[in-house]
Amino acid sequence: AQKITQTQPGMFVQEKEAVTLDCTYDTSDQSYGLFWYKQPSSGEMIFLIYQGSYDEQNATEGRYSLNFQKARKSANLVISASQLGDSAMYFCAMSPIYNQGGKLIFGQGTELSVKP
Amino acid sequence: DADVTQTPRNRITKTGKRIMLECSQTKGHDRMYWYRQDPGLGLRLIYYSFDVKDINKGEISDGYSVSRQAQAKFSLSLESAIPNQTALYFCATSDIARDEQFFGPGTRLTVL
């Protein structure tokens, strides 16, 4: 069975510093996708970044990058130059089927607080 | 206008009542999903539909049913609501060619 583990229930970071949110996954599939979503206090789920299991380069989207280490089964999110608006819950998720719109399996989330 | 909408946004009901949560999307996606979020448990999949004629149970489908009325509409029903169904419910959509899912704003349901 597929599983996502986020071991940091809460994290603090100083404004303008970088922060890494950890995510490890477990799957026997060869093809899969990894995602990060942001959930601010207002409740909506905002898609941030995607990494396919066969992508050789780490994904980047603006200030977000995904540190993908396939052998270690980790997909950590790096946020550079943190902003106050980055304070939110962050969820790592996995889709067991690559590029076929599979079901998402979510981790329990990490609550990030950015300090001024 | 939002691409994925959910109605109602908030609902308080009593045990035993029938409740329907509705989801509509203008993204043109074939695939739609219903998730439930409880504090500390992340999101869990209730039902999903890969097209109008294809509906599948997710991880926690007991006590729920769904209807895919059209490509753009996917409804979740609680036939007889119970207090442990109090949660935040999300609808999501995805395109057949890509994996990322796009979420609606959520419906906060409270069952007394």
CA-based nearest residue to B40, from A89, A102, A116: A89
**Cβ-Cβ contacts under 8 Å for A65 (sequence gap 6 or more):** A49, A58, A59, A77, A78, A80
- Sequential DSSP letters for chain A: --EEE---SEEEEETTS-EEE--EEE---SS-EEEEEEE-TT---EEEEEEETT-SSPPEETTEEEEEETTTTEEEEEE-S--GGG-EEEEEEEESSTTTT---EE---EEEEEE-
β-sheet bridge partners, residue B109: B11, B87
- Cβ pairs A/B, distance under 8 A: 66
Give pLDDT tens digits for B99-108.
788 999 999 9
Per-residue confidence (pLDDT) for residue B107, from 0 to 100: 96
* Contact indicator for B103, B94 with CB cutoff of 8 Å: no
Give pLDDT tens digits for A24-75.
999 888 888 899 999 999 889 999 999 988 888 999 999 999 999 999 999 9
Per-residue confidence (pLDDT) for residue B40, from 0 to 100: 72
Per-residue confidence (pLDDT) for residue A95, from 0 to 100: 87
Per-residue confidence (pLDDT) for residue B95, from 0 to 100: 84
DSSP assignment letter at B84: G
* Contact indicator for A33, A52 with CB cutoff of 8 Å: yes
Selected residue of B48, B50, B100, B109 to mutate for chain A interface (largest A Cβ count, 10 A): B100
In this model, does residue A101 exceed pLDDT 60? Answer: no
- Strands A110-115 and A10-14 turn out to be parallel
Percent of chain A with pLDDT over 70: 95
Give pLDDT tens digits for B26-67.
999 999 999 999 987 789 999 999 889 999 999 899 999 999
Query: Is pLDDT larger for residue B42 or for residue B86?
Result: B86
Mean pLDDT, rounded, of chain A = 92
Nearest CA-CA distance, residue A58 and chain B, Å: 16
Per-residue confidence (pLDDT) for residue B2, from 0 to 100: 67
Mean pLDDT of the region A83-100: 86
Percent of chain A with pLDDT over 90: 75
Per-residue confidence (pLDDT) for residue A100, from 0 to 100: 57
Per-residue confidence (pLDDT) for residue B98, from 0 to 100: 73
Q: How far, in Å, CA of A104 to CA of B60, rounded?
A: 14
The amino acid occupying position A93 is: A
Per-residue confidence (pLDDT) for residue B61, from 0 to 100: 95
In this model, does residue B19 exceed pLDDT 90? Answer: yes
- Beta carbons of B31 and A97 less than 8 Å apart: no
In this model, does residue A99 exceed pLDDT 60? Answer: no
Count the alpha carbons within 13 Å of A6 in the hemisphere toward its beta carbon: 28
Per-residue confidence (pLDDT) for residue B1, from 0 to 100: 58
CB proximity A100 to B under 8 Å: yes
Per-residue confidence (pLDDT) for residue B77, from 0 to 100: 97
